[in-house]
């Protein structure tokens, strides 16, 4: 059974940093592209980053230069290092897998809440 379990969320002050983790199981992690998608309370879905099987990262303009996605295939783990956090980054962060960067997100974790507030 495919499982994705996020952790690392919490309360952080504006300008602070946080590192999210996503533990994967039930599939060959190294063979899949991985994504982070966030959702502010009561709002829609926003793609945050992706990483290919070769470790190539992708970001939208809203987080480029502040967020860093990485993966550790030996540990079946995905990470998101978030720096210079702003109130607008407050959201539930989901990790998800895809069979390619242009493929659908076929499995999602349950999400971890990040709150940026003083």
Binding interface with another protein (CB under 8 A): 35, 37, 44-47, 50, 58-61, 94, 98, 101-111
28-44 burial: b if 16+ Cβ within 10 Å, else e: ebeebbbbbbbeeeeee
Of 82 and 109, CB closest to another protein: 109
Token output for 111: 């999400």
Of 9 and 111, CB closest to another protein: 111
Q: How, if at all, do strands 57-58 and 67-72 pair?
A: unpaired
- Min. distance of Cβ 82 from another protein in angstroms? 17
Of 61 and 65, CB closest to another protein: 61
- Min. distance of Cβ 65 from another protein in angstroms? 15
- Min. distance of Cβ 60 from another protein in angstroms? 4
Closest Cα to residue 22, out of 3, 36, 5, 39? 5
């Amino acid at each position: 059974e495919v499982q994705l379990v996020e952790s690392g969320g919490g309360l952080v002050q504006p300008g602070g940093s946080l590192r999210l983790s996503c533990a994967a199981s039930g599939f060959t992690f190294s063979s899949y592209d991985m994504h982070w998608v966030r959702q502010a309370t009561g709002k829609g879905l926003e793609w945050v980053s992706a990483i290919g099987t070769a470790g190539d990262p992708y970001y939208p303009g809203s987080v480029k230069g502040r967020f860093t996605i990485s993966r550790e295939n030996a540990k079946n783990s995905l990470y998101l290092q978030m720096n210079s956090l702003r109130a607008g980054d407050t959201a539930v962060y989901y990790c998800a897998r895809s069979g390619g960067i242009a493929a659908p997100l076929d499995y999602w974790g349950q999400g971890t809440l990040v709150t940026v507030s003083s």
